[in-house]
Amino acid sequence: AQSVTQLGSHVSVSEGALVLLRCNYSSSVPPYLFWYVQYPNQGLQLLLKYTSAATLVKGINGFEAEFKKSETSFHLTKPSAHMSDAAEYFCAVSKRGSNYKLTFGKGTLLTVNP
Amino acid sequence: NAGVTQTPKFQVLKTGQSMTLQCAQDMNHEYMSWYRQDPGMGLRLIHYSVGAGITDQGEVPNGYNVSRSTTEDFPLRLLSAAPSQTSVYFCASSMTHSGQETQYFGPGTRLLVL
């Protein structure tokens, strides 16, 4: 079975500060890992994904994440937060070849203060 | 392309009523999935399909039925609604090909069961 743990249900940062959202996964097989963003009353939009190529993955809106197998982590970072980054962020894992069965973390709500 | 579309956007049901949540995609994706999102729970997989005529259960299938008669459509049926099914429902689709692992999500259907 696979699982995802997102540390911190709510993270608050100041505009211009570093954003760090933590994700740890559990998987018995090499995983695919994803970060999605959800703005209020909208669907989910893919930020970035790891599918066994480069371990440092760059996504949209200046976000990036690094796959660390030894730490079973896939933390999401952005050097400088913008007000428009305020949203809920979900980390998800799937088995390779089974991208129709995502297992999600419980989400982290990011607040950006002016 | 319209992507993944869902109807209705919002629905109120009484306990015991039945309804069908519609989902369609115009990207010729083989895989389609239904998730429910509840506060503090992230998204949980209800049912999924790997092609027309093929469906299977996810993590929380009880109380829901699905069918997939065409590649484009994947409706979710609630046979006898219960208050515990109050949630936001998301449909998603994706491809089988390596390098195309992203699941694309619809805008969601908010369901309230009284």
Beta bridge partners of B55: B49
The rounded distance, in Å, linking the Cα atoms of A6 and A76 is: 11
Return the sign of the alpha-carbon dihedral for residues B2, B4, B9, B15.
positive
**Which alpha helices (DSSP H) does A26-92 contain, by range?**
none
With H, G, I as helix, E, B as strand and everything else as coil, classify residue B60.
coil
Q: Which residues contact A69 (CB under 8 A, 6 or more apart)?
A: none
Q: Which residues of B touch A101 (CB under 8 A)?
A: 33, 45, 48, 58
Phi and psi at residue B30, in whole multiples of 5°?
A: -75, -40
Of A4, A9, A49, the CB nearest to B102: A49
Whether residue A110 contacts residue A21, with contact meaning beta carbons closer than 8 Å, is answered with yes
> Nearest to residue A44, comparing CAs of B18, B4, B27?
B4
**pLDDT tens for residues B34-58?**
999 998 889 999 999 999 999 999 9
Interface contact flag, B43 A44, Cβ < 8 Å: yes
**Percentage of the residues of chain B whose pLDDT score is greater than 90:** 87
CB neighbours of residue B54 within 10 Å: 10
pLDDT score of A2:
87
In whole numbers, what is the pLDDT of chain B averaged over residues?
A: 94
Provide CB contacts within 8 A for B109, sequence distance 6+: B6, B7, B8, B9, B10, B11, B21, B88, B89
Q: Mind telling me how many Å the CA of A42 is from chain B's nearest CA?
A: 6
Task: Walk along chain A (114 residues) and give the pLDDT tens digit of each residue.
Answer: 889 999 999 999 999 999 999 999 998 888 899 999 999 888 999 999 998 778 899 999 999 999 999 999 999 999 999 999 999 999 999 988 788 899 999 999 999 999
Does any CB of chain B come closer than 8 Å to the CB of residue A100?
yes
pLDDT, position A5: 96
